[in-house]
A and B are shown apart, each in its own frame.
Chain A
Amino acid sequence: MKKIYKGRVTEVKQAATDLYYIKISAANFSANAGQFISVLCDNCTLRRPFSVMDCENGVITILFKLKGKGTNYIKNLKEGDDIDFSGPFGNGFSLTDKRSLIIGAGVGVAPVLFLKKEFDKKGVESRIIGGFLNKDAIPANINLDMISTDDGSLGKKGSIVNFLKDEIKNYAPYRIYACGPSIVLEKICETASQYGIQTQIAMEKEMACSIGVCRGCAITLKNGKNATVCKDGPVFSGEDIKW
């Protein structure tokens, strides 16, 4: 059930340039891949939404990128500090039992790493690939089946979308899951649809309430209807999105 949790910070650790992990212990909290929590930050009117990257035995991991007031507040938290967050929010990914390709771009790898773990637990075959700016932008201690960097400093050189066609041909996935910048998601959906492959993508939008009431995060779908990223999403079928 959605509620406010008073968690305890167990670790804040740098993961890459401007990227950090925070681990929060919060009894009884559980979430599915693709769901998010909203963190209360000092001197901020609005809570900050973050995807759950892992959640096991009452410990939540978040991977976050430094941006402004809120993420700097979180970065400066210390082990043992209290952290107020609410959740879990959103629909999360829906898993298939068929072979899937999972793509994370930048900090967008966070929710899809959780998804990969869920696939592995279910014993469903999947392949996870990630695209980053350069080698310094790759979070430490993550396992990916293929990496690309824009400058070629690690893995293949170029945007991850450039390798998508080959990935599809070689791996022949039934479905593609992705999270990352909007422009990357758009290209992934475009390519996937050329091959007739379904997509599930996790979107981002500025949020106020996180529960579907303020309508601040609404987007218009292809069918003309409005959907909220916080409650109807953040995971959508790529086919439904009007880019």
Chain B
Amino acid sequence: MVDLSVNLNGLILKNPILTASGTYGYADEYDDFLSVKNIGAIVTKAISLEPRSGNTGRRIMETDAGMINSIGLENMGIKAFLENVLPKLEEERISYIVNIAGATFDEYIELGKICENSRIRAIELNLSCPNVHAGCLEFGTDEGSLYSLVNAVRNVYSGKLIAKLTPNVTDITKIAIAAQNAGADLISAINTVKASGVRISYVRGKFYQERINGGLSGMGIKPVALRAVSSISEAVNIPIIGMGGISSLNDIFEFISVGADAFQIGTANFTHPTIAEDLVNQLAEFIEYNGFASYEELKNKIREDIKNE
């Protein structure tokens, strides 16, 4: 078996293919289609302090090359997660990262403490959540508030801390540097891109609009993600988990070439429920067939070849 393992600033995973928060449930929901335990890690749906029922009305709309969602962080809350899901993850030996979402600064810290006490190995801070105490501005759009938040969680949580960045900012390099300075072990990017989905129909002499305001994901955002990962990798030296529209091995090579060390698959899971495991296998085959010793060697080769071009 080829060595696909990665050491991401101390977070050791059997391979660099992860599944993105909100697209994979909490645990083994995809087990009918594949073996979830073969995936590098799943990132759970965002978990908040209290259960949330999410947004009402239209929650998704397909777009030309992706989809828009406005789920509103519907989730079971950390208590139910620890009681009902965590034992299953451990028992089934599924590698997982807990994505956490607070409505306030203090909620993030509380969640960090709970994860510390529950010995959760890694958490991903969803920084795209609206801060209800700051006009619902996203925590991740202002480097000052992001720094304080990541730093505060860092002080209560000793596991691997991943800061998940939103692309909806003027200069993502400043945000990434703030996350690194605040003590994040890794950066993941990107979350969804702010967008509106609109459908117009004309029925019996009258126009009708259907509309959703939410986050765009899937194929259409890959160029946005590549640019963001590229900028982040020039600004920081902690590892980067890249995501945004990944659905093929070639996409993974593109992300490696701009500086990503590992990857998350999101929307593509909906289209191809076996894709995460398929990509693990394809990556292994590529490495073996082309005579590389390991994933690390392949990654370095891609970067070196590009540098020398």
Contact = CB atoms under 8 A, between A and B. Distances in A.
Interface in B12-62: 22-25, 29-30, 32-33, 45, 53-54, 56, 58-62
Interface stretch (B111-119, B125-133, B165-173, B263-271): B263-271
B74 A215 contact: yes
11 contacts: A4-B33, A40-B271, A46-B62, A47-B271, A206-B60, A208-B67, A209-B270, A213-B30, A214-B69, A216-B71, A220-B56
B273 A86 contact: yes
Interface string B261-288: 0000001011111100000000000000
Size range of the chain B interface in the assembly = 20 to 34
B66 interface: yes
A46 B220 CA distance: 13
A220 B53 contact: yes
Contacts of B54: 215, 218, 226
B69 A216 contact: yes
A45 B23 contact: no
Interface string B65-84: 11101010010000000000
A3 B33 contact: yes
Main secondary structure of the interface of A (DSSP, over half): loop
Contact of A214 (B65, B71, B274): B71
Given A86-B33, A213-B30, A214-B69, 17 more contacts: A45-B66, A45-B219, A45-B267, A45-B270, A46-B271, A86-B273, A206-B58, A206-B60, A208-B267, A209-B273, A210-B270, A211-B32, A214-B23, A215-B74, A217-B59, A217-B60, A218-B54
Nearest to A48: B62
Contact of B25 (A1, A4, A46, A213): A213
B218 interface: yes
Contacts of B33: 2-4, 86
Contacts of B148: none
A1 B273 CA distance: 14
Contacts of A46: 62, 67, 270-271
Size range of the chain A interface in the assembly = 20 to 34
Interface string A141-153: 0000000000000
Interface string B226-267: 000000000000000000000000000000000000000001
Contacts of B63: 45
Interface string A200-243: 00000011111111111110100000100000000000000000
A183 interface: no
Contacts of A213: 23-25, 29-30, 45
A131 to B, nearest CB: 20
A215 B23 CA distance: 9
Contacts of B24: 213
A220 B63 CA distance: 25
B32 A3 contact: yes
**In the complex, the 8 A-B pairs of residues with the closest C-beta atoms, listed nearest first:** A216-B60, A213-B25, A2-B32, A208-B270, A215-B74, A209-B270, A46-B62, A216-B59
Contact of B60 (A86, A211, A212, A214): A214
Contacts of A2: 32-33
Nearest to A47: B271
A4 B30 CA distance: 12
A51 B271 CA distance: 18
Contacts of B66: 45
Contacts of A226: 53-54, 74
Contacts of A215: 54, 59, 71, 74
Contact of A206 (B25, B56, B61, B273): B61
A218 B74 contact: yes
Nearest to B66: A45
Nearest to B267: A45
Contacts of B218: 45
A218 B32 contact: no
